[in-house]
Amino acid sequence: MASPFPGMDPYLEGIWGDVHIQLISTFRTLLTRLLAPRYITDLGSRVIVERLPDDDLDGRAIMPDVAVLQPEHAAPTTDAMPPGVTPPALRLKTPVELPTRLVTLYIYEAATMKLVTVIELLSPVNKRGEGRREYLQKRNEVLDSDAHLVEIDLLRAGRRMPFLGEVPDTPYLAMVSRAYARPNCEVWPIRLQDPLPVLPVPLLRPDPDVPLDLGVALRTTYEAARYDLRIDYSQPPPPPALSDEETAWLEAQSRQNNDQ
């Protein structure tokens, strides 16, 4: 039932629509135990409609947040049309609009309902096209406010969020922006081989940070949702392609799991 990876499981990117909702709900469960009664949590959701196919800004194949499944019995082709029907002159594709539900975790001071911290778990739509532009606008609004921002990117695909200064080229990244320390922020580059970090979640001063253990959250979510039944680990993970170092590590990890 457990994921075969010590940290982030790259195969989860292929079913991220479900993972996103379940994982951020687990964040809420873990944090609420530490925050009550002074703070309360709330899950706010919004729907972004993405049009596919579209030009990918990175030049890579677009993977929607939800799966589009091919029906078992396809519609009849021109070969199966009744006699006398005029064959179509062209075969084209029409844009498909896919709604994506995005969920954000908010932390409020219970007594005043003051917004204290915003926790964003990025989704593919946040990292490309119009969805990226919308997210960056929301991100900037939080960064211009007196609320803290925790941003977690567990997706290899798409464009990374902008930072001032060099960030190591790792597939995953987490960031904590404290309202009183801006523009400075704390950044955790995460390799595929690394265990997921325990992040500090800042609150109102002088209250201490509370920990958000990403590894515990991911393992809890994976096992509760039985993602092992939905993933074929004998196949390569979803795009983009792994680096040579990551591929060698993945093969060694697979051999180790098979030997157990």
In a domain, 21, yes or no: yes
Mean pLDDT of 89-113: 82
Q: Which domain holds residue 63?
A: 10-67+96-259
The pTM assigned to this predicted structure is: 0.82
As a whole number of angstroms, the distance between CA 20 and CA 104 comes to 10
Place of tokens 């064959």: 87
- pLDDT higher than 50, residue 126: yes
In a domain, 145, yes or no: yes
In a domain, 91, yes or no: no
Neighbours of 41 (CB within 10 A): 17
pLDDT (0 to 100) of residue 48: 66
In a domain, 223, yes or no: yes
pLDDT interval class at 2 (50, 70, 90): confident
- pLDDT higher than 80, residue 6: yes
In a domain, 84, yes or no: no
Return the minimum-mean-pLDDT range out of 24-28, 150-154, 227-231, 251-255.
Answer: 251-255
**Dihedral (CA of 89, 91, 95, 96) sign:** positive
Task: Quote the number of domains for the chain.
Answer: 1
In a domain, 25, yes or no: yes
Give the amino acid at 10.
P
pLDDT (0 to 100) of residue 75: 46
As a whole number of angstroms, the distance between CA 8 and CA 45 comes to 24
In a domain, 105, yes or no: yes
8 A C-beta contact, residue 174 and residue 153: yes
**pLDDT tens string 28-84:** 999 999 999 999 999 987 776 666 554 443 333 344 444 333 344 444 444 567 888
Greater confidence (217 vs 87) lies with 217
pLDDT interval class at 104 (50, 70, 90): very high
Mean pLDDT of 160-166: 92
pLDDT (0 to 100) of residue 30: 97
Q: What is the 3-state secondary structure (H, E, C) of the chain?
A: CCCCCCCCCHHHHHHHHHHHHHHHHHHHHHHHHHHCCCEEEEEEEEEEEEEECCCCCCCCCCCCCCCCCCCCCCCCCHHHCCCCCCCCCCCCCCCEEEEEEEEEEEEEECCCCCEEEEEEECCHHHHCHHHHHHHHHHHHHHHCCCCEEEEEECCCCCCCCCCCCCCCCCCEEEEEECHHHCCCCEEEEECCCCCCCEEEECCCCCCCCEEEEHHHHHHHHHHHHCHHHCCCCCCCCCCCCCCHHHHHHHHHHHHHHHHC
Mean pLDDT of 112-118: 96
As a whole number of angstroms, the distance between CA 197 and CA 184 comes to 20
Instruction: Tell the burial category of 35 from Cβ atoms under 10 Å away from its Cβ (0-12, 13-18, 19+).
Output: buried
- pLDDT higher than 80, residue 234: yes
Question: Residues of the chain with pLDDT > 70: what percent?
Answer: 83
Instruction: Tell the burial category of 149 from Cβ atoms under 10 Å away from its Cβ (0-12, 13-18, 19+).
Output: buried
Give the distance, in angstroms, between the CA of residue 65 and the centroid of all CA atoms in the same chain. 9
Q: What is the Cα gyration radius of the chain? A: 21
pLDDT (0 to 100) of residue 253: 80
Mean pLDDT of 139-158: 96
pLDDT (0 to 100) of residue 101: 78
pLDDT (0 to 100) of residue 95: 63
Give the distance, in angstroms, between the CA of residue 38 and the centroid of all CA atoms in the same chain. 29
Mean pLDDT over the full length of the chain: 86
In a domain, 75, yes or no: no
